[in-house]
Amino acid sequence: MSTLLNREEWLDQLERIAAALPACGVPVKICLIGSGACLLEAGMPGRASHDLDVWQPGSDFDLGELRRAVIQAGLLFDPRSALEPGQPYVQIVNPGPTQVGAFEPVFWARFGRLHVYLPPWPNWVAAKLARGEPQDIEDVLYVAKSQRVKAEEVEACAESFPEPARHQVLENLIYLRILTP
C-alpha cells in the first residue's frame, strides 16, 4: 500500500474500519478535518493523503473500539513517535497548534456504525489558511472555487480562532481574495 491514498482508497479504508467495528452499539462519530475532508468531499483531482485527521472536539467514539478497528483495517492509529509514519494512519487531533474554530459538524456519510462528519467549508478553509503551507493554499483555492466559499465567511470563522491562528487566517485571506473571483 502506498503511503499516499486517493479518494477511492480512503473510501475503502473507511469501509474496512466500519467492518472491523462490532455490529451493535452506538454510532462511532468521527469528524474529519485536513486534506482527508478535501479529497473525500470536494473530490480534488490528483489529491492524495497519508492520513485522516479526526477532530476530537467534533467526534464521539470509544477510543479503544476505534483504535482496534483502525488497526484491524491495516492502518496505524494516532502515531506519536514518528513524524512521517511509513504507512497510512488515522490521527486524533485536539485544539492546540491545529485550529478549526467553533462549528457544528456536518454529516457526510455513514458506513455501518461509522458516521463521518466534516466541518463547514468556511471553517475548513480558515484552518488551512491558519497553517498556510503551499499545499494548504492549493487546497484552499480548489475548495473555495468548488464549494463557493466566500472570503467573508472565512473571516467570520476566524473570529472564533485563538491568537496567533486568527491573525494567520486573516493575513492569508489575501490568497482567497486575490486568486478567486
pLDDT at 42 over 80: no
C-alpha cell at 171: 493575513
In terms of Cβ atoms closer than 10 Å to its own Cβ (0-12, 13-18, 19+), residue 155 is middle
pLDDT (tens digit, 9 = 90+) per residue, 65-77? 999 999 999 999 9
The answer to whether 175 touches 169, Cβ cutoff 8 Å, is no
Alpha-carbon distance 81 to 5, whole Å?
21
SS3 call for 51: strand
Looking at residues 56-65, what average pLDDT do you find?
A: 97
